Amino acid sequence: MSDFTRDEFAEVLDTAERMHAVLERPIRRVPTLRGTTIANVFYEPSTRTRVSFELAGKNLSADVVNIAASGSSVEKGESLIDTFQTIQALGADIVVVRHSRAGAPELASRHLDCGVINAGDGTRGHPTQALLDLYTARRRLGDVEGRKIVIVGDILHSRVARSGIWAFARMGAEVVLSGPPSLLPDTMEALTNGTGEVRIEHDLDGAIQGADIVMALRVQRERMQAGLLPDLREYARRWSVNPARLERAQRHALVMHPGPMNQGIEISPAVAYSEQSVIEEQVANGVAVRMAVLYLLLTGEGRR
């Protein structure tokens, strides 16, 4: 996301609108990418991203193959690059990569001639999640320029937050990051240097005041073992998005969560299933946005 321009964001989102129109037809399939092959290579668990890339490819009539580390020759010790080159040799036009190591998709792109899409790498980035979040916000609120988005939770370890900060800041939103200091060090502000307004406000009650969008992030329980979170109940008391806190946001405020959720910890069920929640919409919009990304990459209409 870090080098995406406003025009490039707009191009993806406008293309996603056209894909959305396809998805509203009685037959949700167009022949646009017939004859192409997309390989989903997921080294980490995923429900939303993997399934939506699969549906996106199929809706565009591409052939889609799914490869998980378990059951592949990775278990026999095959290297990452050998695995990707094998998949390319088998005819993949695009490789969609999720990996626990930051930089794995970029490494793949340096060794492959086919297209590579980052479906989440370590704590580094999750660009198509940021695109679908931006798309969901734009559909509901219009242009996000001047809107206030509060991202709350484990920002330090969140690839969703990293990509989201870049995307919303570049589009002119005011980005406020909230969470415990152990999961939100002051250095995070530097992430968006020069791209827009971003600031840290550890106190969520203050941060949420007047927000247009409140995005809660999953608390990763392994952080407790690492000593970064002493107590989940205390975390929920101070940083859970609950009905009382949401009252401080704008009446029209949208509630987002990339999923999967820990209900009762970072978000209360009453908020997650409220009329303000667009969490299911985010999931559904992931298909149109990923169709747009596949289309732009495979037809060469996008710059990259």
Task: Specify whether the CB–CB gap between 194 and 2 falls below 8 A.
Answer: no
Query: Alpha-carbon distance 105 to 99, whole Å?
Result: 8
Give 88 or 277: the residue with its C-beta nearer to ligand CP.
277
Give 93 or 121: the residue with its C-beta nearer to ligand CP.
121
Q: What amino acid is encoded at 217 in this protein?
A: L
Give 118 or 268: the residue with its C-beta nearer to ligand CP.
118
Q: Per rule CB under 6 A, is residue 49 in the interface with ligand CP? A: yes
What DSSP designation does 73 have?
G
| Binding residue for ligand CP, selected from 258, 266, 288, 294, defined by CB under 6 A | 258
R_g of the chain, CA atoms, integer Å: 19
User: Using CB under 6 A, which residues numbered 129 to 158 contact ligand CP?
Assistant: 129
Q: Per rule CB under 6 A, is residue 46 in the interface with ligand CP? A: yes
Give the other-Cβ count within 10 Å of 224's Cβ.
14
Burial (0-12, 13-18, 19+ Cβ within 10 Å), 98: buried
Helix and strand totals (H; E) in the chain: 12, 9
Query: Alpha-carbon distance 282 to 49, whole Å?
Result: 11
Q: Per rule CB under 6 A, is residue 122 in the interface with ligand CP? A: no
Strand partners, 200: 177
- Give the binding range for ligand CP (CB under 6 A) out of 41-49, 76-84, 102-110, 187-195: 41-49
Q: Per rule CB under 6 A, is residue 120 in the interface with ligand CP? A: yes
Residue count, binding to ligand CP (CB under 6 A):
9
| Binding residue for ligand CP, selected from 48, 139, 238, 248, defined by CB under 6 A | 48
| Binding residue for ligand CP, selected from 5, 47, 79, 274, defined by CB under 6 A | 47
Binding positions for ligand CP, rule: CB under 6 A: 46-49, 120, 126, 129, 258-259
